[in-house]
């Protein structure tokens, strides 16, 4: 069933009940929804309470007159067209109204046909303006978030939320695994805020010792402690007028947490060794990969600070939750790295691309970026045949006990050997990747060989040969309890 178009709402503000009734009648005939106000005060109240598309405004009204209403409309930043309808033609008044942003100035009596045309034009113009404003906003957002590649629904949701909050001054808590792009989000939020002209100061809380934290965050005066040879402004002061980004905030000591809470509540800080307080105007964006509920339960993180930090919680999904982004990101990193280093861009073999999609990416986008860079450096003949697992992958590499198919210990995938000859190294890596791809796909297909072969793009007999070569037996055990029985 087609949705019915909602009629546009026209507010008629006029102290004459005759005019209001006549106008209401005419507007209804023209297909508009007409509402009325008998003076300036009730006109403003109506504008505050409900959406109005056009305002037909009389100038001479009791309480607040039309000019006052018009200036209130503009002060509020309302963009609706205001059509002045007045009894007396007064050129200087008309000029003043137009200067104040009125759409049209008409004198009574107004011909019905004329009013009809003016209303239609005013509405289509304001509709056009709205569309331009939406497009402008989209363009700005595209530019702000252009560094954040990927178009998966999960990532788009995070970007949309960041766009909603960026123009406000709310504290944002970014939550996501390491390497998901939290810092990129923090930067985009800063650049999309009214503070964009101010500084963006980043601190990794995990990287500063608790002894130094106070002085680094809040500054110190000369002589405050041994080695304090000069006055020093801390990170909060440096962020004055801008945004402070506290990365890994879950690693902050309880002592510093109390001081950060105070700074957030009072918007004032005190340098170490100084009595007076200094006012600082900052917005706080913080990030963590932790589950705070645990830290709050075990009292390693203050609940009151947590609630302040997460005025707006923003979740950044791990790469494995946005499969659609893996290949576009890989291609982007490939182009970017080759361009930056003046290298020819190699092509990626289809099986290598496939292996990217079956990897769980514990190091997220950072891991993908590193793997692509390393693959470019080791690519032979302009072709990336396979990807080198990163050191961090070791953790995620399935061990025999966690595999759905039995793998002899000596053939368990490993990360690259420490420093073998290049040829041997590449062979070992290729072997690892192949084994990994087979194991992952086999598990995904619930032990169905034909389906596994199809997904891997090889024949069933090749799959069986490869499984034999890697020492993989066909005894499949999908349930964890069964695994050891192979
Ligand atoms: N969507 C993305 N598009 C392009 N590059 C990305 C994207 N996400 C992350 N990166 C890149 O991955 C790397 C890690 O990103 P970033 O430092 O923002 O992650 P993080 O979540 O803050 O990590 P950590 O928690 O370890 O500090 C950076 O080089 C960043 O440029």
pLDDT at 479 over 50: no
Whether residue 482 has pLDDT greater than 60: no
In a domain, 140, yes or no: no
Kindly state whether residues 258 and 362 are assigned to the same domain.
no
Could you report the per-residue pLDDT of 35-52, keeping only the tens digit for each?
999 999 999 999 999 999
Residue 439 has pLDDT above 80, yes or no: no
Residues 178 and 129 both lie in one domain? no
258 within some domain: yes
Same domain? For 178 and 297 the reply is yes
Same-domain check for residues 162 and 292? yes
User: How many beta carbons lie within 10 A of that of residue 476, not counting itself?
Assistant: 18
Residues 89 and 182 in one domain: no
pLDDT for 425 equals: 47
Q: Is the CB of 22 under 6 A from ligand 1?
A: no
Residues 251 and 338 reside in one and the same domain? no
| d(C-alpha 460, C-alpha 454), whole Å | 8
Q: In the prediction, which pLDDT does 477 show?
A: 32
The sign of the torsion formed by the CA atoms of 261, 262, 265, 270 equals: negative
Please report, for the domain that includes residue 392, its CATH number. 1.10.8.60
Ligand 1, closest atom to CA 325? 1
Query: Which of 147, 176, 364, 366 has most ligand 1 atoms within 8 Å of its beta carbon, as the pocket-test mutant?
Result: 366
Q: How far is the CA of 424 from the centre of ligand 1 (A)?
A: 32
Element of type H or E holding 292 = helix 292-297
> Does one domain contain both 390 and 470?
no
What pLDDT, on a 0 to 100 scale, did the predictor assign at position 405? 29
* Nearest Cα to Cα of residue 145 among 134, 132, 155: 155
> Does residue 430 lie in a domain region?
yes
Residue 184 CA, closest ligand 1 atom number: 18
pLDDT at 3: 54
Cβ contacts of residue 165 below 8 Å, gap of 6+? 172, 189, 312, 314
The finding on whether 373 has its CB within 6 A of some atom of ligand 1 is no
Q: Is the CB of 180 under 6 A from ligand 1?
A: yes
Average pLDDT over residues 464-476: 63
25 and 119 share a domain? yes
Q: Which of 134, 167, 195 is the last residue of a domain?
A: 134
pLDDT average, residue stretch 134-146: 81
Q: How far is the CA of 398 from the centre of ligand 1 (A)?
A: 25
In sequence order, the 6+-apart residues with CB closer than 8 A to the CB of 306 are 292, 296
Is 145 within the bounds of a domain? no
Ligand 1: which of 188, 330, 365 to mutate, most ligand atoms within 8 Å of CB?
365
Percent of the chain with pLDDT over 90: 58
Residue nearest atom 30 of ligand 1, based on CA coordinates: 181
Q: Hey, which of 183, 322, 333 would you mutate to test ligand 1's pocket, going by the most ligand atoms within 8 Å of its Cβ?
A: 183
Residue 365 Cα, ligand 1 centroid: separation in angstroms? 6
pLDDT tens-digit map of 271-326? 999 999 999 999 999 999 988 888 999 999 999 999 999 999 999 999 999 999 99
Percent of the chain at pLDDT exceeding 70: 83
Say if residue 157 is in the same domain as residue 292.
Answer: yes
What atom in ligand 1 is closest to the CA of residue 181?
18
In this prediction, residue 122 carries a pLDDT of 94
CA neighbor of 307 nearest in space, from 170, 159, 188: 170
Using alpha carbons only, give the angle 410, 414, 417 rounded to the nearest 5 degrees. Answer: 100
Mean pLDDT value of segment 67-82: 93
Same-domain check for residues 188 and 298: yes
pLDDT at 88 over 90: no
Does 290 sit in the ligand 1 pocket, CB within 6 Å?
Answer: no
* 484 against 84, higher pLDDT: 84
Owner of token pair 């508009």: 32
Q: Is residue 147 scored above 70 in pLDDT?
A: yes
Coil, strand or helix at 175: strand
User: Does residue 105 contact residue 98 with C-beta atoms inside 8 Å?
Assistant: yes
pLDDT digits (tens, 9 = 90+) for 364-404: 999 999 999 999 988 877 889 888 665 533 433 333 322 22
Atom of ligand 1 nearest to the CA of 247: 27
- Residue 179 Cβ inside 6 Å of ligand 1? The answer reads yes
Ligand 1, atom nearest to 289 Cα? 25
Task: Return the ∠ at Cα 40 (arms to 116 and 110), rounded to 5°.
Answer: 25
Strand partners, 315: 175
| Residues 399, 408: Cα–Cα separation, whole Å | 10
Please state the domain count of the chain.
Answer: 4
- β partners of residue 10: 34, 54
Mean pLDDT over 190-212 rounds to 91
My answer on whether 294 and 347 are in the same domain is no
- In this predicted structure, what is the pLDDT of residue 470? 67
Q: Which of 257, 285, 317 is the last residue of a domain?
A: 317
Domain stops at, among 317, 347, 382: 317
Per-residue pLDDT reduced to its tens digit, 10-36? 999 999 999 999 999 999 999 999 999
Residue 36 lies in a domain: yes
Does residue 141 fall inside a structural domain?
no
Mean pLDDT for all residues in the chain: 83
Q: Strands, DSSP E only, in 137-210?
A: 172-175, 200-204
Could you tell me the pLDDT band of residue 198, with boundaries at 50, 70 and 90?
A: very high
69 and 27 in a common domain: yes
- Is 166 part of a structural domain of the chain? yes
ipTM: 0.98
Mutate to test the pocket of ligand 1, among 184, 251, 332, 334 (most ligand atoms within 8 A of CB): 184
- H or E segment and range at residue 188: helix 182-191
- Can you give the pLDDT at residue 208? 83
Range of the domain at 257: 153-317
pLDDT-based confidence at residue 457 (cuts at 50, 70, 90)? low
Which residues have a Cβ under 8 Å from the Cβ of 76 and sit 6 or more positions away?
Answer: 47
Nearest CA to ligand 1 atom 5: 148
* Closest ligand 1 atom to Cα of 185: 18
Q: Please check whether residue 266 lies inside any domain of the structure.
A: yes
Which CATH number do you get for residue 117?
3.40.50.2300
Ramachandran class of 267: left when φ > 0, alpha when ψ lies in -120 to 50, beta otherwise: left
CATH number for position 197 = 3.40.50.300
- CATH number for the domain including 423? 1.10.10
């Amino acid at each position: 069933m087609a949705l019915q178009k909602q009629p546009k709402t026209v507010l008629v503000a006029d102290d004459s009940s005759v005019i209001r009734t006549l106008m209401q009648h005419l507007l209804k005939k023209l297909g508009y929804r007409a509402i009325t106000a008998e003076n300036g005060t009730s006109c403003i109240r109506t504008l505050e309470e409900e959406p109005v598309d056009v305002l037909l405004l009389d100038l001479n009204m009791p309480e607040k007159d039309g000019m006052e209403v018009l200036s209130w409309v503009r002060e509020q930043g309302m963009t609706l067209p205001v059509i002045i309808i007045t009894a007396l033609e007064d050129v200087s008044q008309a000029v003043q109204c137009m200067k104040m942003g009125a759409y049209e100035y008409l004198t009574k009596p107004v011909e019905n046909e004329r009013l009809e045309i003016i209303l239609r034009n005013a509405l289509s113009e304001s509709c056009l303006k709205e569309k331009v404003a939406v497009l402008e906003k989209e363009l700005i957002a595209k530019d702000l978030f252009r560094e954040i590649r990927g178009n998966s629904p999960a990532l788009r949701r995070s970007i949309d939320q960041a766009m909603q909050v960026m123009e406000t001054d709310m504290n944002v808590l970014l939550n996501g695994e390491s390497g998901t792009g939290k810092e990129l989000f923090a930067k985009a939020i800063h650049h999309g805020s009214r503070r964009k002209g101010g500084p963006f100061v980043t601190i990794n809380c995990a990287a500063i010792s608790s002894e130094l934290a106070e002085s680094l965050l809040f500054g110190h005066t000369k002589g405050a402690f041994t080695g304090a040879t000069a006055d020093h402004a801390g990170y909060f002061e440096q962020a004055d007028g801008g945004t402070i980004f506290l990365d890994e905030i879950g690693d902050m000591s309880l002592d510093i947490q109390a001081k950060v809470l105070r700074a957030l509540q009072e918007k004032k800080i005190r340098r170490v060794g100084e009595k007076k307080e200094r006012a600082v105007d900052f917005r706080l964006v913080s990030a963590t990969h932790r589950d705070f509920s645990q830290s709050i339960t075990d009292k390693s993180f203050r609940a009151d600070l947590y609630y302040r930090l997460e005025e707006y919680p923003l979740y950044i999904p791990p790469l494995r939750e946005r499969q659609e982004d893996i290949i576009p990101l890989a291609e982007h990193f490939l182009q970017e790295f080759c361009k930056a280093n003046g290298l020819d861009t190699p092509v990626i073999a289809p099986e290598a691309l496939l292996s990217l999609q079956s990897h769980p990416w514990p190091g997220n986008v950072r891991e993908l970026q590193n793997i692509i860079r390393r693959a470019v450096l080791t690519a032979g003949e302009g072709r990336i045949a396979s990807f080198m697992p990163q050191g961090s992958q070791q953790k995620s590499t399935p061990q025999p006990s966690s595999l759905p198919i039995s793998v002899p210990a000596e053939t368990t995938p490993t990360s690259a050997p420490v420093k073998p000859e290049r040829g041997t190294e590449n062979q070992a890596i290729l072997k690892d990747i192949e084994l990994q791809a087979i194991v992952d796909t086999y598990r995904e297909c619930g032990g169905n060989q034909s389906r596994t072969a199809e997904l891997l793009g090889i024949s069933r007999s090749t799959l069986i040969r490869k499984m034999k070569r890697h020492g993989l037996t066909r005894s499949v055990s999908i349930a964890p309890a069964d695994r050891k029985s192979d």
